[in-house]
Amino acid sequence: MRIVIALGGNALLHRGERPDAAVQEANIDRVTTAIAALAQEHEIVVTHGNGPQIGLLAVESAADPALSAPYPLDLLGAQTQGMIGSLLARTLHDALPGRRIAALVTHTLVRADDPAFDHPTKFVGQVYPYEVASTLARKRDWHIAADTTGWRRVVPSPAPERILETDTVHELLNSGTLVICAGGGGVPVTADPDTGALTGAEAVIDKDLTAALLAEDLKADFLLILTDVPCVYAGYGTPDQRPVLGATPAELRRGGFPDGSMGPKTEAAARFVERTGGLAAIGSLDAAYEIVHGRSGTLVRPDLTVA
| Residues taking part in catalysis | 9-10, 122, 207, 265
Q: How far apart are CA 5 and CA 298, in angstroms?
A: 15
Closest CA to 217 of 1, 30, 4: 4
CB contact at 8 A, 246 and 297: no
CB 300 within 8 A of CB 248: yes
Contact 223, 212 (CB under 8 A): yes
Instruction: Measure Cα distances from 55 to 26, 82, 162, 187 in Å.
Output: 20, 15, 24, 15
Q: Could you give phi then psi for residue 17, rounded to 5 degrees?
A: -80, 150
Q: Which residues contact 104 (CB under 8 A, 6 or more apart)?
A: 85, 165, 168, 169, 172, 179, 180, 181
Secondary structure of 157-203 in HEC code, one letter for each residue: CCCCCEECCHHHHHHHHHCCEEEECCHHHCEEEEECCCCCCEEECCC
Q: Which of 46, 39, 32 is nearest to 1 (CA)?
A: 39
69 three-class SS = coil
Among 300, 294, 286, 295, which residue's Cα sits nearest to residue 37? 286
